[in-house]
Amino acid sequence: MTANAQESFAAWCIRQQGRLEVALTDAIPVSGPTRLGEAMRHATLGGGKRLRALLALAAAEAVAGGADGLQTAEAAAALRAACALELIHAYSLVHDDMPCMDNDVLRRGKPTVHVAYGEAMALLAGDALQTLAFETLTPPDGSVNPCVQAALCGLLARASGHQGMAGGQALDLASVGVRLDEKQLRLMHRLKTGALLAASVTMGAACVPDRPASARDALARFGEAVGLAFQVVDDILDVTADTATLGKTVGKDAADDKPTYVSVLGLQRSRAYAHTLHQQALDALDASGLSFTTRLRDLTALVVQREK
Amino acid sequence: MTANAQESFAAWCIRQQGRLEVALTDAIPVSGPTRLGEAMRHATLGGGKRLRALLALAAAEAVAGGADGLQTAEAAAALRAACALELIHAYSLVHDDMPCMDNDVLRRGKPTVHVAYGEAMALLAGDALQTLAFETLTPPDGSVNPCVQAALCGLLARASGHQGMAGGQALDLASVGVRLDEKQLRLMHRLKTGALLAASVTMGAACVPDRPASARDALARFGEAVGLAFQVVDDILDVTADTATLGKTVGKDAADDKPTYVSVLGLQRSRAYAHTLHQQALDALDASGLSFTTRLRDLTALVVQREK
């Protein structure tokens, strides 16, 4: 089955989510004498919107002028980038849910990894999921251009480490019970959630090398706006959704005395801010000079209008 | 100061350890509003033999026919590979020491990271150290050949993930109170400790591309023997050294009811096995066809004859 511009957004999402599930299942073996692989699969498979992966795939298509414009090695790189992003996201959730962090017991409607497999295995599974992301980006079979491999590893590492996601989590940790202003809150979220979402877009674009820097820069701005919008909407949903819809415990941030956009800006201004970020993202796409941005536009709408 | 074949092994080690300390200090920034960088430095700087790093640097020199044979980009790659290995090693120790794993309070004569900074920060610091290893391997400044970057990321990821170090730690976890035979014990250690030590050698060699595969294969066999020898000696020291010399709690494995070479083979046969592995390592170097292997020979002796 091939992709084309006429395929509906919903059909595209379902098709890509299916490809991702297969690729992630293949990437995580469950053989061997321990339950490590099983715990890694528990954390990764069978759920999630795969937003980061979809952004990467859509960005690669946008830069290539549509799915048909992707060469075989570029399409292979994009699928690997998409999987690596989901593996990093899964690892961060496993560790974030642990008792010494958020101590959450429910994730995507399932028991969290430490509840199902114990704390030590959750620690190891998270560690091994992070490593697997970089393994996924560096296939030794020559299917992905080594320059693209190196670029993807660099982008992913810089987005998820001490200057990105992990740095944001450290800020989050330090902010419990502390009154942050909007600027500090934005820094925390730009690192904690935004960096990886923005990297999803830049990594997707990096799979198709030798394209104009202007398009790349515009996509980077798009990714930043979407990343921030995601967190604002997350904070809104934490107070407006119910646990059954959300698939995780609601009101958790407020109960943990963590600063959120809603606690800093109030609900109404948070909604207005999400709307502004949505517009900024669309403006960046307009400025990119790329013709095939429909998937990225649809994904932005999904981020802002989602109910879980 | 330049390296040369006349420089004594001790002087070479001290010079390289100095370079590594500077490079690792530069790699881990301590600015920012949290103590994350500080915790990462606590875990990484000011101690350790830097065995993995020294193996990588010595392997690069061996393949290049001596330090003077290394081109600028190759020397830069080797230093980055060496740092990345130490960062992965440091992350594994931070997580391994945590209460849900070995619950150790002393490491290299200092309080472990979770004792000094709390469990949540130890979790994040370990996570961020792993990421930093891949960041270190992928400098965006063009100082390292992208093909070498990709190869190093792949080798490091495969050695430290579910099929390497993390897989070995899962086996270790599953083996508490279980009677392993020698074959199972060897598998556990080949993954848990051996994979990263062996990768130290292959990563060092990968920094100098386009050399004969026969030399590369012989170095890989050398790395495997050294990796296994390291663990056998570690198990011997756990029962023969004292805590002050070792800088960590001795008798810990026996107290935790973990299988070790000493518990499976006895002390005398463990010593004989270490001797055999030492010889296998030297035989592999003889078979490599490389002329400048003196550093690797000296490092092997250091591994087998060390007292801590």
Q: What is the 3-state secondary structure (H, E, C) of chain A?
A: CCCCCCCCHHHHHHHHHHHHHHHHHHHCCCCCCCCHHHHHHHHHCCCCCCHHHHHHHHHHHHHHCCHHHCCHHHHHHHHHHHHHHHHHHHHHHHHHHCCCCCCCCEECCEECHHHHHCHHHHHHHHHHHHHHHHHHHCCCCCCCCHHHHHHHHHHHHHHHCCCCHHHHHHHHHHCCCCCCCHHHHHHHHHHHHHHHHHHHHHHHHHCCCCCCHHHHHHHHHHHHHHHHHHHHHHHHHHHHCCHHHHCCCCCHHHHCCCCCHHHHHCHHHHHHHHHHHHHHHHHHHHHCCCCCCHHHHHHHHHHHHCCC
Q: Please state at what angle helix A119-137 crosses helix A72-97, rounded to 10 degrees.
A: 160
Answer whether residue A244 shows pLDDT above 90: no
Residue found under tokens 């610091």: B125
CB neighbours of residue B143 within 10 Å: 13
**B contact test, residue of A31, A100, A115, A119 with most B CBs within 10 A:** A100
- The per-residue pLDDT for B180 is 81
CA atoms within 13 A on the CB side of B253: 19
Helix, strand, coil distribution of chain B in percent, nearest 5: 70, 0, 30
- 8 Å CB contact between A151 and B144: no
Closest CB from A32, A161, A171 relative to B132: A161
d(CA A156, CA A203) in angstroms, rounded, equals: 8
The distance of A260 to chain B (nearest Cα, Å) reads 18
Across the interface, whether the CB atoms of A120 and B173 are under 8 A apart is answered yes
- The per-residue pLDDT for A285 is 97
Residue B46 lies in a domain: yes
Closest CB from B130, B146, B149 relative to A130: B130
Residue B36 lies in a domain: yes
Banded pLDDT at B176 (limits 50, 70, 90): confident
Banded pLDDT at B47 (limits 50, 70, 90): confident
- The per-residue pLDDT for A241 is 78
Residue B3 lies in a domain: no
Closest CB from B29, B139, B171 relative to A34: B171
CB neighbours of residue A210 within 10 Å: 4
The distance of B85 to chain A (nearest Cα, Å) reads 13
Mean pLDDT lowest among A184-198, A252-266, B136-150: A252-266
Mean pLDDT lowest among A4-8, A10-14, B83-87, B136-140: A4-8
Residue A3 lies in a domain: no
What one-letter code names the amino acid at A196? L
d(CA B209, CA B230) in angstroms, rounded, equals: 27
- The per-residue pLDDT for B1 is 39
Q: Which residues contact B305 (CB under 8 A, 6 or more apart)?
A: none
Nearest CA in chain B to A132: B161
Which residues from chain B sit within 8 angstroms of residue A126, using beta carbons? 127
Mean pLDDT lowest among A26-30, A111-115, B91-95: A26-30
Banded pLDDT at B244 (limits 50, 70, 90): low
What one-letter code names the amino acid at A47? G
pLDDT cut 90: percent of chain B above it: 75
Banded pLDDT at A108 (limits 50, 70, 90): confident
Residue A99 lies in a domain: yes
- The per-residue pLDDT for B264 is 87
Banded pLDDT at A1 (limits 50, 70, 90): very low
- The per-residue pLDDT for A254 is 62
CB neighbours of residue A46 within 10 Å: 12
- 8 Å CB contact between A243 and A250: yes
Mean pLDDT lowest among B21-25, B28-32, B226-230: B28-32
Across the interface, whether the CB atoms of A150 and B131 are under 8 A apart is answered no
Cα-based distances in Å from B157 to A44, A130, A147, B201: 18, 9, 17, 14
- The per-residue pLDDT for B31 is 78
Answer whether residue B170 shows pLDDT above 90: yes
**What is residue B256's DSSP assignment?**
T
Domain CATH for A96: 1.10.600.10
* B111 three-state secondary structure: strand
Residue found under tokens 């010593």: B271
d(CA A258, CA A176) in angstroms, rounded, equals: 5
Answer whether residue A4 shows pLDDT above 60: no
Q: What is the pLDDT of residues A140-187, one digit of tens each?
A: 999 999 999 999 999 999 999 999 999 999 999 888 778 888 888 888
Answer whether residue B265 shows pLDDT above 70: yes
- Report, as an integer, the average pLDDT of A278-305: 96
- 8 Å CB contact between A62 and A296: yes
pLDDT cut 70: percent of chain A above it: 93
The model carries a pTM of 0.94
Which residues from chain B sit within 8 angstroms of residue A167, using beta carbons? 32, 34, 36, 128
Q: Closest by alpha carbon to A107, among A250, A234, A302?
A: A250
Residue A4 lies in a domain: no
- The per-residue pLDDT for B33 is 79
Across the interface, whether the CB atoms of B160 and A130 are under 8 A apart is answered no
- 8 Å CB contact between A108 and A47: yes
Give me the sign of the Cα torsion angle B58, B59, B65, B71: negative
Residue A1 lies in a domain: no
Answer whether residue B141 shows pLDDT above 70: yes
State the total domains in chain B: 1
User: Tokens for B21?
Assistant: 């300390």
Across the interface, whether the CB atoms of B151 and A146 are under 8 A apart is answered yes
- Report, as an integer, the average pLDDT of B11-40: 94
Q: Closest by alpha carbon to A301, among A45, A87, A13?
A: A13
d(CA A185, CA A172) in angstroms, rounded, equals: 9
- What is the residue range of A130's domain? 9-305
User: What's chain A's average pLDDT?
Assistant: 92
Closest CB from A118, A139, A166 relative to B131: A166
Number of cross-chain residue pairs from A and B with Cβ atoms under 8 Å apart: 164
d(CA A108, CA A305) in angstroms, rounded, equals: 19
Q: Which residue has the higher pLDDT, A112 or B47?
A: A112
Q: Closest by alpha carbon to A100, among A71, A126, A128, A123?
A: A123
Nearest CA in chain A to B187: A33
The distance of B142 to chain A (nearest Cα, Å) reads 11
**What is residue B191's DSSP assignment?**
I
- The per-residue pLDDT for A308 is 73
d(CA A99, CA A96) in angstroms, rounded, equals: 8
- Nearest 5°: phi and psi at A49? -80, -15
- The per-residue pLDDT for A5 is 53
d(CA A272, CA B50) in angstroms, rounded, equals: 53
The b/e string for A148-173 (b: 16+ C-beta within 10 A; e otherwise) is bbbbbbbbbbbbbbbbbbbbbbbbbb
Cα angle value A298/A301/A305 (rounded, 5°): 145
In this prediction the ipTM stands at 0.94
Answer whether residue A138 shows pLDDT above 80: yes
Mean pLDDT lowest among A51-65, A80-94, A235-249: A235-249
Q: What is the pLDDT of residues B105-115, one digit of tens each?
A: 999 889 999 99
Residue found under tokens 């008798």: B251
Cα angle value B175/B180/B185 (rounded, 5°): 85
d(CA B63, CA B69) in angstroms, rounded, equals: 9
Residue B2 lies in a domain: no
Closest CB from A29, A124, A162 relative to B170: A124
Answer whether residue A246 shows pLDDT above 70: no
Instruction: Calculate the CA B31 to chain-centre distance.
Output: 28
Residue found under tokens 């517009």: A279
**What is residue B67's DSSP assignment?**
G
Banded pLDDT at B48 (limits 50, 70, 90): confident
**A contact test, residue of B89, B129, B162, B176 with most A CBs within 10 A:** B162
Across the interface, whether the CB atoms of B170 and A29 are under 8 A apart is answered no
